[in-house]
Amino acid sequence: MSVHSATAACWSCSGKACFAHSHLQDFMAETLKISRLEKALEWAVYVFSASVLLSITVSQAALLLIAILLVCLGAKDKNKAGAYFGRIKGSGLLLPFFLFFIAYIFSAMVGVDSKNSFSFLNSELLKALACFALIAAVPGIKVSAAGAWYAAGATLAGALGIWQFIQGNIYSNGIDFARAHGKMYAVTYGETMAVALVFSLLCFINSKKETFVRKAYFASTLILAAAFSMSLSRGPAIGLAFALGMLYFFEPRSRKILRVAAVICFAALVAIFSAVPSLRLKLISIPRGMVQLVSGSKNAAAGVDDSSSIRMEMWKVGVKIIRDYPLGGVGPDNVKRIFGFYHPGLFDGRYNSNDVHNLYLQKTAEYGLPGGLIFVYLLVSFLRLVYKKYREFRSVESLWALTALTGFYIMMLTDSSFHLPRVAMSLYFMLALSQTTDKQAEG
């Protein structure tokens, strides 16, 4: 071989080596970028988990970051994009949400104030996107860590409510009674505390004995139970009792704790209601009122307290609206436009209301009977999804979603807070957390 040939061969090999080395460097740099984006996505989920019950601003900012990171990761890696879409498609929620928005648009078009209804469409779209973003993102991280961050944030929200209750009643004027409420209405606060309480209790039961994690979840359970009690919310109490009853059935290890808790609660209720007859009336008002309303009693409010009487008036207005607007309803967020027509007198210190305090009556009044059925189909789809995952994993997260979501649906018989972004997003986080386990995420 000549000198020129050898030199040319060397340069050729060197050029190929440089080319391969350059591609290797590019690949490693791209992999590092993806790894950093994945780590950022993980921490964005943790921030959302911790803040969803503390700060709507922080949680929405974290949710926006989650969506941006999902798009960036999907654009850089087609396999990840496929995995994200696969999780969303596999949830079975695309069709229920699609039908829900068809019902929303139809009722907005035929309702009493189309402009007002359409002005809230973006809020519903954002909540649906939040649901899909969480379902796409959460199964790719360590779900036990995300759950721990959620429990920590919920516990802080519980501590805030306890402080509000104590401070408010120390400086009370003797007429008004302060309730724990965090950064929301007291009843809504009670609902979110009940959902979080079920999670912390499950984590405590399933933690290894004599560990810091177990002690932390025990403390969290006590704080959340106290905060829930101090919200003085009856509707959420019924839903929580239902959720704990399901937990008693599905989780044998919870039975001893729940029996002790039931005895303590029963003794406390007997003592309190024996001493305060007005509280005893509050306890029996809701079931008595429902029976009287269904039976068509002309004096349905007899024997119930003021709060229950007000709710019964709201339910009757909801039924009348459904009777008069059966096909398309009055349109989303339009109950307040016609409430005064059905209840012209002074009502709870005002002349109008946008809420009939029953989620199922509320949505049927807004969307009509077909739209109300579609909304129930959406709720059933959530429940079907978590039940499917519970049967597959038997995990803490899937059992939490199954029991707490069912309990929440019971709570909505006397409230309609599902439309609130904070409530909806915390429930969507629960759905997302139930979709996988730590082992699957690591795999």
Residues 112-117 have a mean pLDDT of 96
Residues 167-177 have a mean pLDDT of 73
Q: Which residue has the higher pLDDT, 371 or 176?
A: 371
Structural domain harbouring 189: 83-442
User: Is residue 286 scored above 80 in pLDDT?
Assistant: no
> How long a stretch of residues is the chain?
443
Residues 53-73 have a mean pLDDT of 95
Q: Which residue has the higher pLDDT, 274 or 418?
A: 418
User: Is residue 439 scored above 70 in pLDDT?
Assistant: no
Give the model confidence (pLDDT) of 224-233 as tens digits: 999 999 998 8
User: Is residue 415 scored above 80 in pLDDT?
Assistant: yes
- Residue 433 to residue 195: CA distance in whole angstroms: 14
Q: Per the domain annotation, does 309 fall within a domain?
A: yes
Q: Per the domain annotation, does 293 fall within a domain?
A: yes
pLDDT for res 353: 84
Give the model confidence (pLDDT) of 333-372 as tens digits: 999 999 988 888 766 667 788 889 999 999 999 999 999 9
Give the model confidence (pLDDT) of 296-312 as tens digits: 555 555 555 667 778 88
Residues 110-118 have a mean pLDDT of 96
Q: Per the domain annotation, does 155 fall within a domain?
A: yes
pLDDT for res 34: 73
Most confident of 27-31, 175-179, 283-287: 175-179
Please give the tally of structural domains in the chain: 1
pLDDT for res 291: 59
Which residues face 274 on adjacent strands? Answer: none
Q: Per the domain annotation, does 438 fall within a domain?
A: yes
Give the model confidence (pLDDT) of 311-324 as tens digits: 888 999 999 999 99
User: Is residue 134 scored above 50 in pLDDT?
Assistant: yes
Q: Per the domain annotation, does 26 fall within a domain?
A: no
Query: 222 to each of 157, 186, 311, 400, 442, how far by Cα in Å?
Result: 13, 19, 31, 17, 32
Q: What is the pLDDT confidence band of residue 109, given thresholds at 50, 70 and 90?
A: very high
Q: Per the domain annotation, does 402 fall within a domain?
A: yes
Q: What is the pLDDT confidence band of residue 11, given thresholds at 50, 70 and 90?
A: very low
User: Is residue 4 scored above 80 in pLDDT?
Assistant: no
Q: Per the domain annotation, does 418 fall within a domain?
A: yes
Query: Mean pLDDT, the chain, as a whole number?
Result: 87
Q: Per the domain annotation, does 172 fall within a domain?
A: yes
User: Is residue 28 scored above 90 in pLDDT?
Assistant: no
pLDDT for res 274: 74
In the chain, % of residues over pLDDT 70 = 82
